[in-house]
């Protein structure tokens, strides 16, 4: 069975490769950054097992490593090394030669993920389910990325070593921003566990008429956007808003369908992602990679689409969640 642990080990192996490659180039801060992160993916289960057995030092060591990640990111020493003009010219020539075929491997990722999630219960080898049901989405996503890599190598006729090196180059270009989705999702869980959702529920109860479906739904939609703008990711906003408004007011009080509310509510939060520099890996890093003169140019181009999607998502929730 393909389990989520296998995906984590694969990620850890790639991060270890990135650390070794940077170490060979004497880029010590970048190598240390990816090495610490690789340890979390490769030895996470062992750390949890040691903690359950009463040994705290592995978890404490990992905690020190996380603090080290923050210090290295704050120092601003992370990033890619300069590339020579010959390499850049070769990459441009290859892109022009391949044209739109380059988009094929990228489209493989969502397609295989969707097929893996929907067909997962029927993918079996004898009595064994091939994709772990409990983490079907993430496991299918990991499998899709491996298949997309194979497809990219076939399209470009490149060697695996080239694919790994180019992946490392992009990872180095992202730097600390590659961790934002994980960190922000964790931040949302921390907020929910510390009672921020209850505080929001009490505040909303004082500010809006909670007997009104429209008012509660509007507060939920705008709250998802606002918290996503503040924290940079809808994953961080979702547990807080669901705990504060979604479950107590919309689901329990007004009978909203939790599945529809959750799915469209998450999409509503991503309207905020299009509006904030806090979503650096979406809005700031691309501007840097494309060398745009305005670092906020991506956001300026996206805000009309964000507002239009917000209106559409709100109408979808209004007509669907209270059926």
Q: What is the sign, positive or negative, of the torsion defined by CA atoms of 85, 86, 92, 95?
A: negative
C-alpha–C-alpha distance, residues 24 and 31, integer Å: 9
Q: What angle do CA 118, 124, 125 make, to 5 degrees?
A: 160
pLDDT tens sequence across 164-203 = 988 898 888 778 777 876 776 677 667 767 777 677 778 8
Return the beta strands (E) in the chain as ranges: 124-125, 128-129
Residues in CB range of 223: below 8 A, 6 or more apart: 200, 204, 237, 241, 244, 245
Low-confidence ranges of the chain (pLDDT < 50): none
Distance of CA 248 to the CA centre of its chain: 27
176-206: b (≥16 Cβ within 10 Å) or e: bbbbbbebbbebbeebbeeebbeebbeebee
What tokens were used for 48?
């949890």
The span from the CA of 50 to the CA of 57, in Å, is 8
Structure tokens, 322: 């209270």
The reported pLDDT for the residue numbered 203 is: 80
Q: Which stretches of the chain are DSSP H helices?
A: 4-24, 28-52, 57-75, 85-98, 103-119, 136-156, 160-174, 180-193, 196-207, 213-231, 234-241, 258-273, 280-283, 285-289, 297-320
pLDDT at residue number 309:
94
């Amino acid at each position: 069975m393909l389990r989520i642990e296998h995906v984590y080990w694969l990620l850890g192996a790639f991060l270890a490769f990135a650390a070794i490659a940077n170490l060979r180039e004497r880029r010590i801060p970048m190598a240390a950054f990816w090495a610490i992160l690789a340890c979390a993916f490769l030895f996470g289960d062992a750390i949890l097992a040691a903690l359950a057995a009463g040994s705290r030092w592995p978890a404490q060591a990992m905690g020190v490593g996380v603090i080290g990640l923050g210090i290295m990111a704050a120092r601003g020493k992370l990033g890619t090394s300069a590339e020579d003009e010959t390499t850049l010219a070769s990459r441009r020539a290859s892109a022009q030669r391949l044209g739109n075929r380059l988009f094929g491997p990228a489209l493989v990722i969502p397609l295989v993920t969707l097929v893996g999630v929907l067909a997962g219960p029927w993918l079996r080898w004898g009595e064994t389910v091939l994709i772990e049901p409990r983490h079907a989405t993430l496991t299918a996503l990991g499998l899709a990325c491996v298949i997309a890599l194979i497809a990219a190598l076939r399209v470009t006729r490149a060697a695996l070593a080239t694919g790994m090196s180019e992946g490392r180059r992009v990872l180095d270009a992202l730097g600390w921003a590659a961790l934002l989705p994980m960190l922000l999702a964790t931040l949302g869980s921390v907020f929910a566990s510390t009672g921020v959702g209850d505080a929001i529920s009490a505040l909303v109860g004082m500010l809006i008429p909670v007997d009104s479906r429209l008012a509660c739904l509007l507060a939920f939609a705008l709250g998802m956007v606002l918290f996503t703008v503040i924290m940079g990711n809808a994953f961080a906003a979702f547990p807080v808003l669901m705990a504060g408004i979604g479950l107590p007011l919309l689901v329990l009080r007004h009978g909203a369908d939790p599945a529809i509310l959750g799915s469209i509510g998450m999409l509503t939060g991503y309207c905020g992602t299009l509006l904030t520099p806090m979503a650096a890996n979406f809005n700031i890093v691309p501007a840097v990679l494309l060398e745009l003169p305005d670092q906020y140019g991506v956001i300026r181009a996206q805000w009309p689409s964000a507002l239009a999607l917000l209106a559409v998502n709100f109408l979808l929730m209004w007509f669907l969640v209270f059926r």
